[in-house]
């Protein structure tokens, strides 16, 4: 976490040594980024080191560290909504002629929301160190970290049973064993063909993610297909049963997020798609709930 300000002062933050868990996530611009990982209610403690330029003194009007939890929406890019804002003052006004280390501790911080990098919404956590100065601009540096939260398995997990029909042409039933899945789960189900009078070419199941931002009439939905899995190639006949078995592990999924701080939601759907020989598509969508069983 060594970051510099050109030839001037440098600031380092130690999040607590080599034993701290880390996670590699897709950062801005698509590049991989390795960040310290925290969860639930945790104490964030460590050290800040401020080092003046070699042979020079650093005059300042105070040093502080902030712990911030922020949500940014793309239609309001650059404006961050703070749902956590904690501040510790580390040093009174003075001057540094050599490196100085400041211990810090934010005790039992409740981080109820997970970090999230979406299409139109972003939720982030960071430590911000500010060295305030009178006669020149402040030295400010951000040190990001990532939050994931584990949920207990739901006590009630009903199966999903639905019918898809086109009058006198097609009638199918599909059944999934449950409606709530952990992120490393397997979707297991069956599809029954009760009436087939159109020529089905193939059938696939999709996992779709819908990200909603805003509220009321100003809600904006962004949907994308996370996974596409062919479960049948060729024409089914009446009475046929097709098994479904879709592993979730390979895909970049998050838990379902419902109305996070009244700013955004993320929901997941299983979408059954049938394509006939004339490339017409018939589909039926069903929401599922995803949760994180372990880190």
Give the whole-angstrom CA distance, residue 243 versus residue 117. Answer: 34
Alpha carbon dihedral 130, 132, 136, 139, in 10-degree steps, equals -10
CB atoms within 10 A of CB 136: 8
Give the whole-angstrom CA distance, residue 61 versus residue 270. Answer: 56
Structure pTM? 0.87
Of 234, 268, 7, 9, the closest CA to residue 118 belongs to 268
- Span 153-167, mean pLDDT? 86
How confident is residue 7, by pLDDT bands cut at 50, 70 and 90?
low
Give the whole-angstrom CA distance, residue 246 versus residue 142. Answer: 40
How confident is residue 18, by pLDDT bands cut at 50, 70 and 90?
low
Determine the pLDDT at residue 66: 96
The token pair that represents 191 in the structure block: 């599809």
Lookup result for tokens 């798609």: 273
How confident is residue 32, by pLDDT bands cut at 50, 70 and 90?
confident
Mean pLDDT, the chain, whole residue set: 88
pLDDT tens digits for 57-101?
899 999 999 999 999 998 777 789 999 999 999 999 999 999 999
Checking if the pLDDT of 115 tops 70, the result is yes
142 contact partners, CB below 8 Å, separation of at least 6:
126, 127, 128
Checking if the pLDDT of 28 tops 80, the result is no
Give the whole-angstrom CA distance, residue 37 versus residue 218. Answer: 34
Checking if the pLDDT of 34 tops 50, the result is yes
Could you tell me the sign of the dihedral formed by the alpha carbons of 195, 200, 204, 209, in that order?
negative
CB atoms within 10 A of CB 188: 14
Lookup result for tokens 């379902």: 256
Give the whole-angstrom CA distance, residue 110 versus residue 15. Answer: 17
Checking if the pLDDT of 5 tops 50, the result is no
pLDDT tens digits for 236-294?
778 888 888 999 999 989 999 999 998 999 999 999 888 888 888 888 889 999 999 98
Checking if the pLDDT of 37 tops 80, the result is yes
Determine the pLDDT at residue 17: 64
Give the whole-angstrom CA distance, residue 201 versus residue 234. Answer: 5
Lowest mean pLDDT among 154-163, 174-183, 278-287: 278-287
Q: What is the DSSP string of 115-142?
A: PEE-SSEEEEEEEEEEEE-SSSPPEEEE
How confident is residue 159, by pLDDT bands cut at 50, 70 and 90?
very high
């Amino acid at each position: 976490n060594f970051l510099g300000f050109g030839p001037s002062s440098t600031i380092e933050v130690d999040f607590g040594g080599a034993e701290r868990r880390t996670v590699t996530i897709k950062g801005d611009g698509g590049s991989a980024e390795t960040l310290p990982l925290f969860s639930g209610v945790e104490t964030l403690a460590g050290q800040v080191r401020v080092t003046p330029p070699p042979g020079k003194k650093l005059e300042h009007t105070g040093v502080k560290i902030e712990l911030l939890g922020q949500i940014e929406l793309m239609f309001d890019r650059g404006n961050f909504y703070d749902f956590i804002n904690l501040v510790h003052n580390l040093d009174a006004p003075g001057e540094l002629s050599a490196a100085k280390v400041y211990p810090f501790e934010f005790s039992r911080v409740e981080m109820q929301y997970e970090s999230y990098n979406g299409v139109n919404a972003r939720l982030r956590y960071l430590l911000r160190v500010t060295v305030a100065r009178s006669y020149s601009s402040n030295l400010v540096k951000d040190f990001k970290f990532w939050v994931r939260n584990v949920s207990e398995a739901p006590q009630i997990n009903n199966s999903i049973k639905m019918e898809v029909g086109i009058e006198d042409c097609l009638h199918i039933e599909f059944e999934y064993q449950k409606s709530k899945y952990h992120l490393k789960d397997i979707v297991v189900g069956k599809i029954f063909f009760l009436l087939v009078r159109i020529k089905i070419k193939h059938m696939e199941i999709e996992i779709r993610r819908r990200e909603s931002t805003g509220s009321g009439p100003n809600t904006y939905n962004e949907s994308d297909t996370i996974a596409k899995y062919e479960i049948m190639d060729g024409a089914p006949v009446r009475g046929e049963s097709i098994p479904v078995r879709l592993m979730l592990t390979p895909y970049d999924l998050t838990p379902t997020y419902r109305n996070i701080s009244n700013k955004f939601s993320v929901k997941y759907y299983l979408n059954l798609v049938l394509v006939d020989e004339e490339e017409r598509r018939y589909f039926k969508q069903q929401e599922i709930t995803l949760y994180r069983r372990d880190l």
